[in-house]
A = this chain, B = another copy of it.
Amino acid sequence: MTQNAGSTITRMLQMHPQIDKSPFDLGALTECIDACFECAQICTSCADACLGETEHAGHLMHCIRLNSDCADICITTGRVLVRQTQPELAVIRAQLQSCLAACKACGDECQQHAEKMSMKHCEVCMESCRRCEQACQALLATLN
């Protein structure tokens, strides 16, 4: 029943008055925006789920920290990418690089807990981080 945010942002950007001047590939852009917002949501949830693992919270300290950073960085990256009025590529590239680094670090940490401790929420979070990392990489590639 839930709508797909990805398709709604595609509709929005198609109606944007400055979209003809956009330096972005619209498909790669909306994929990346969608991945950033999803990853922000899932990392916020993973930090909270790790906190709720009462017995294991000590082992998950680094995961909670990386989840928190990754959630903040993904939201900001998503919002910067949504804006299509006179984009500043130097800022956008640097923020995409930071998002890449955050998703890589968080995805790697979650993968360990998924594999060694069978943490299912870390497995889902790892998938969101990997998807977002790849979407940032793909979008950066279209800008070079």
A interface vs B, CB < 8 Å? 1-9, 11-13, 15-18, 30-31, 33-34, 37-38, 40-42, 44-49, 51-54, 57-58, 61-62, 64-66, 68-73, 75-76, 78-80, 82-88, 90-91, 93-95, 97-98, 100-102, 104-105, 120-121, 124-125, 128, 131
Could you say how many copies of this chain the assembly holds? 4
A65 and B48 CA atoms in complex are apart in Å by 8
Interface residues of A: mostly helix, strand, loop or mixed?
A: helix
Known: A52-B85, A91-B98. A37 touches B5 (CB 8 A): yes
Residues A17 and B86 in contact, CB atoms below 8 Å apart: no
Residues A12 and B125 in contact, CB atoms below 8 Å apart: yes
